[in-house]
Structure 1
Amino acid sequence: MSRQIILHFSTKDVPGARAFYTALGFTVNEAVSSGSCVYIIMSDTISVMFSEESVFSTFSPRGLCDTSKFLEVLTCLTCSSRAEVDEMIRKALEAGGSVFEEAEDHGFMYQHSFLDPDGHGWNLIHMTESP
């Protein structure tokens, strides 16, 4: 069975989330997007739904994470090269994101992290070989 990963995050600003992630080069599935949510396609198997906080809160009885104080999750995304990692970080910063951790080179793995404008953490990884 083929599986897909659909991440679901809250956002304070649906148009802002749309602008940020399309600035990184990702596309929007308009068929499942609306004024209260945007569905971002990252690859054939990974998508992210960003729902405004009032809508997102209907999906769980738990409260929302205050991402200005806490990291709810660090989502890792593989990249095809170090250059792609650096380019996506550059685009994220230009689009209003911030660096979460500085770049690290472990020889077999290069990584760099950013926070989107809502404080969601993304770790970009390029691996050249197994550790």
Structure 2
Amino acid sequence: MTKVFVNLPTADLERSKAFYVALGCEINPLFTDENAASVVWSDDVYFMMLTRDFFTTFTDKRLVEPKDDVQVLVALSRDSRDDVDAIVAAGLAAGGTEPRPATDYGFMYSRDLEDPDGNVLEFVYMSEEAAEQGPEAYLNDQEGLGAA
């Protein structure tokens, strides 16, 4: 089984840990110290929150400032539109920001949430039909219902 580790820089490790715990994550103490925190999203997805200085030891490239620049958008699926709204609300209450309005394509609903460092998490719900057969199947079904 493939595990996914997303490494993200942080200016304040304790603040980052509190933010991700507020989203429902757990901190794995076996891989957490003064330089990094292992944030468990699921059995297969982990965020490694790394202090900015420690993060730079893994690359020779210039580290961008997440509040000003974007390198990656981390998209995480949710089970419903309500779940998307609930996790974004939890993130906003924990010090995150929502940089843009929700996007609703009918078959897919998403909202962006920036953590306190400016790293972007995108929470997405996609209808089961669209996920299995592509967006056209969902849209064609809606047209058949008269909702074109």
TM-score range, shorter chain: over 0.9
* Runs of 4+ that moved beyond 4 A: none
Name the larger-Rg structure.
Answer: 2
Q: String of CA shifts for 1:73-99, please: whole Å, max 9, x gaps.
A: 111000011111001110111111100
Higher helix share: 2
Q: What residue number does 1:33 align with?
A: 32
Output aligned runs, 1:14-93, within 5 Å.
Answer: 14-93=13-92
The alpha carbon displacement at 1:42 in A equals 0.6
Give the aligned residue type for 2:78: C
Q: What residue number does 2:111 align with?
A: 112
- 2-structure distance, mates of 1:92, 1:72: 21
Q: Which runs of 5+ in 1 are unaligned?
A: none
Q: What residue number does 1:121 align with?
A: 120
Q: What residue number does 1:99 align with?
A: 98
Give the aligned residue type for 2:16: A
- Give the alignment's Cα RMSD to 1 decimal: 0.8
Give the aligned residue type for 1:55: F
**TM-score (norm: length of structure 1):** 0.96
**TM-score (norm: length of structure 2):** 0.85
Q: What residue number does 2:139 align with?
A: none
Q: Which runs of 5+ in 2 are unaligned?
A: 136-148
- 2-structure distance, mates of 1:53, 1:70: 15
Percent identity, please.
Answer: 31
Q: String of CA shifts for 1:102-123, please: whole Å, max 9, x gaps.
A: 1122111111111100110111
Higher strand share: 1
Matched residue pairs, number? Answer: 130
SS in 2 for 1:122: strand
